[in-house]
A = this chain, B = another copy of it.
Amino acid sequence: MEDVAELSPARARERFRAGERAPTAGWCRGWTQANLIAVPAALRYDLLLFAHHNPRACPVLDVGEPGAWSTALFGGDLRTDLPGYRLYRDGRPVADLGEVTAEWREDLVPFLIGCSFTFERALLAAGVPVRHLELGTNVPMYVTNVPCRSAGRLSGPLVVSMRPVPEELVGTAVEVSGRYPRVHGAPVHVGDPAGLGIGDLARPDFGDPAEVRAGEVPLFWACGVTPQAAVMASGVEYAIGHLPGHMAILDARDDDYRVG
């Protein structure tokens, strides 16, 4: 049986294209993962400006032409080669799908947004454990009460991912993730979830819970699901995102996004 950590991006995409469904944390070690958000061309300026205004949450790694289903950094087929999709109409999620070939309108512009899975290998290498990798689950994600800076028709709240980190390793986790500013960088918040308006860590808005144990602190990173929250908050007529945690695996290396 193949170890998913050892797969090439092309091989992982082949498995997803063949129908496999799984969160991608831990897949294709050393390769960059990305969030997908595809919006009608009429909204692409607003989305690009929203991303520019909110760079921690929405670092744009690549953008396709209208109707395109691949980009410079993603050699596969964006309509079939992710392990899960979420379709939105008028701001409401209306279907979770395994592929979106029929739904990929000709005016859709795909954006690939950085993902914090990209620095998890570096966290592990620095001795910082990653709970959802230990558990084999999806990372927990939460809609916060922190508003993003709006752009044109798009506004919405910041979404964050959470990893519990032992107290003595919080500094290391901040420093190591901070070396990857284009894939969310350092945490936006450390400690009390109430500071972000998160009521119950056991009930994430997306993904699976990850228990915070004694001696651990929850660390919150800006999350590339934020554009999907904006699609919902703004009532966007039509959009396709990845299913949270089920990422596009790019033909780019984690180290490409490391600085210093």
Cα A45 to Cα B43 with chains together (Å): 10
Partner of A44, one of B45, B60, B63: B45
Write out, one digit per residue, whether chain A residues 27-53 have a CB within 8 A of any chain B CB (1) or not (0): 000000000000000001100110010
Q: How many copies of this kind of chain does the complex include?
A: 2
Nearest neighbor of A152 in chain B, beta-carbon distance: B65
Q: Which B residues are in CB contact (< 8 Å) with A45?
A: 44-45, 48
Tell me what chain A mostly uses at the interface: helix, strand, loop, or mixed.
helix
CB-based contact B49/A63 at 8 Å: yes
Cα A235 to Cα B44 with chains together (Å): 23
CB of A111, distance to nearest CB on chain B (Å): 10
Write out, one digit per residue, whether chain A residues 45-78 have a CB within 8 A of any chain B CB (1) or not (0): 1001100100000001001000000000000000
Cα A48 to Cα B45 with chains together (Å): 8
Cα A54 to Cα B52 with chains together (Å): 13
Q: Which B residues are in CB contact (< 8 Å) with A63?
A: 49, 52
Cα A73 to Cα B150 with chains together (Å): 16
Please report A residues at the B interface, Cβ cutoff 8 Å. Answer: 44-45, 48-49, 52, 60, 63
A-B residue pairs in contact (CB < 8 Å), sample of 10: A44-B45, A45-B45, A45-B48, A48-B48, A48-B49, A48-B52, A49-B63, A52-B52, A52-B60, A52-B63
Can you add 7 more A-B contacts, CB < 8 Å, to A45-B48, A52-B60, A52-B63?
A: A44-B45, A45-B45, A48-B48, A48-B49, A48-B52, A49-B63, A52-B52
Closest 3 CB pairs of A and B: A45-B45, A48-B48, A44-B45
